Chains A and B, each alone.
Chain A
Amino acid sequence: MTTSSQPMIDQWYPVALASQLPPEGRATQLMGAPIVVLPGEPIRVVAGGGRDLPVTVRYGHVWTSLGEPSKELFDIPEADQPGRRLVEVGVVRVRCSPLRAVENFLDIAHFPFVHTDILGAEPHTEVGKYDVEIREEEDEVWATKVQFYQPQAAKSATGGITTDYMYRVPAPTSSVLYKTCPARPGDWDVITLFVQPLTEELCDVWPWMALFDDETPTTDLIHFQQMIFLQDRSILENQIPRLLPLDPGREIPTRADLTSVAYRRWLKRHLFTYGAQLVAQ
């Protein structure tokens, strides 16, 4: 499938940290097309043939699109809330489908086995009932009322707590996670996964956070998130089939996978299939 026939081409994608652009620019790829992100005022993104692509700088990252985005980049209102620490985690390259990277981020059931003694621990492996919906007005996937027992839910957590989660998918390769803020009960910490599709089976992942935490050094916050994501990476690179299957085939989802089921259904509805396979193989 060529990228030009892809509805995903008109979406926004992260391609660099705005604060970390080298003077010569960042040469990278977007959906198979070589691009260069150039520092300056304004920051430019140039595709092959010298074509300037649309640019938005938001949430610490430079965003662009090979097509013509019909709407602005999704809003994360918490990003502008006073008192939050905005944490740029940096890039991690993963040899997996960009859609699989997002799907893994939406999954809770793997916590005790992959993030042992941090985001989960045996025998507390059960994922309770939670709500999932595709919100028609916003055109986003939401999972709410998710609860999970966690030995060390965040860098600022000092012991095991039952953590509340909400997940939101506002774009095919971006997800926003809201979770209990140990430092400010009643508020949500915001942790995002912004994924840059390099090809259908290779992506650069840019985690980013907006937290209430006045005590933990920034470096520790970055390393906590890098530790978590690098534990995922070795799993993601071994998932088969490489492309995310959008039709039910050999996989049998359980109740804990409802967010994934809704995400896949939403992708299919929009023909967001870059990194997916439509027919189970």
Chain B
Amino acid sequence: MILYDYILSPDAYKVRLMAALAGVKLDLRAVDVHPGREHESEPLRALNPAGSIPILIDGDLILTESAAMLVYLARLAAPEWLGDGDAAGGARIQQWLSFSPRLTDHLGGARATEMLAEPGDLPALQQAGIIDLRQLEAALIERRIEGQCFLAADRPTVADIACFPYAALAPDGGVSLDPYPSIRLWMRAIRMLPGFIEMPGIHRLHELKPEPLSTETPETV
């Protein structure tokens, strides 16, 4: 299975992360997105007319939407990541998969503008990203009251992976995550998953537990 990949792309990271969690081996092809803009080149446009990364190829199957890739990987190797198959649970997962491009557009747009100096209306993108984060926070608060820490089930699903990277990288676009304790707890739960892999800007968990009597605060939450 071939993934046309970019180390700094949160959408590509979703697929790498899902594959790692599901135990699927990917053949990574690095695409020079920045500064080379290779994703807009003829050979890659032939695979994906939208000119976006990632692209997943498995035999005759060519996928250009990261949400579809997550579902494909889960169906192949980790079906428990697709929920229980009941109507409401399935719809809830689909709801978050459809929500996730808003994070890409807004928080991802702010990140590209702020970090890679690409053109964009930064304050408007940040403002739209904050509205998305507030919606995510509100949903996660409701889940916590029910005693659950993932978005769509009593365990992680593809919905969590679809929404995690752009939310976690919000600070790259100048949007703080300090006001969202439920999002931070949820991110920590994802980073604790066996097989979790990191990407630049999303660090793995180190030993964060302070000594019982230590006055020092942990590095991160």
Which residues of B have CB within 8 Å of A92? 115-116
Smallest CB gap from B32: residue in A: A219
A219-B38 contact in complex given A227-B200, A233-B172, A234-B203, C-beta closer than 8 Å: yes
Give a binary string over B5-18; 1 marks a CB under 8 Å from any A CB, 0 the rest: 01110000000000
Q: In this assembly, does A230 line the interface, its C-beta being within 8 Å of a C-beta of chain B?
A: yes
Query: Which of A89, A93, A113, A223 counts the most B-chain CB atoms under 10 A from its CB?
Result: A223
Does B200 lie within 8 Å of A218, measured CB to CB? no
Does B7 lie within 8 Å of A223, measured CB to CB? yes
Which residues of A have CB within 8 Å of B174? 95
Which residues of B have CB within 8 Å of A223? 6-8, 30
Q: In this assembly, does A91 line the interface, its C-beta being within 8 Å of a C-beta of chain B?
A: yes
Instruction: Enumerate A179-231 residues with CB–CB distance to B below 8 Å.
Output: 204, 217-220, 222-223, 226-231
Smallest CB gap from B202: residue in A: A234
Q: In this assembly, does B194 line the interface, its C-beta being within 8 Å of a C-beta of chain A?
A: no
Q: In this assembly, does B171 line the interface, its C-beta being within 8 Å of a C-beta of chain A?
A: yes
Q: In this assembly, does B204 line the interface, its C-beta being within 8 Å of a C-beta of chain A?
A: yes
Q: In this assembly, does B210 line the interface, its C-beta being within 8 Å of a C-beta of chain A?
A: no
Q: In this assembly, does A88 line the interface, its C-beta being within 8 Å of a C-beta of chain B?
A: yes
- Tally chain A residues at the interface, Cβ within 8 Å: 29
Smallest CB gap from A95: residue in B: B174
Interface of chain B, main secondary structure: loop
Q: In this assembly, does B114 line the interface, its C-beta being within 8 Å of a C-beta of chain A?
A: yes
Does B200 lie within 8 Å of A230, measured CB to CB? yes
CA distance A89 to B35 in the complex (A): 7
The residue that B36 contacts in the complex, of A94, A114, A219, A229, with Cβ under 8 A, is A219
CA distance A114 to B200 in the complex (A): 9
A137 to chain B: closest CB distance in Å?
A: 36
Q: In this assembly, does B21 line the interface, its C-beta being within 8 Å of a C-beta of chain A?
A: no
Which residues of B have CB within 8 Å of A20? 35
A-side interface residues toward B, CB under 8 Å? 17, 20, 88-95, 113-114, 116, 204, 217-220, 222-223, 226-231, 233-234, 237
Q: 3 closest A-B pairs (Cβ-Cβ)? A: A230-B200, A90-B35, A219-B32
Give me 8 other A-B pairs in contact (C-beta within 8 A), A93-B116, A217-B30, A226-B8 excluded: A93-B117, A222-B32, A226-B200, A227-B200, A228-B200, A231-B200, A231-B203, A233-B172
Q: List 24 A-B contacts (CB under 8 A).
A: A91-B117, A92-B115, A93-B115, A93-B116, A93-B117, A95-B174, A113-B206, A114-B203, A116-B198, A217-B30, A218-B32, A219-B30, A219-B36, A219-B38, A223-B30, A227-B7, A227-B8, A229-B200, A231-B200, A231-B201, A233-B115, A234-B172, A234-B201, A237-B171
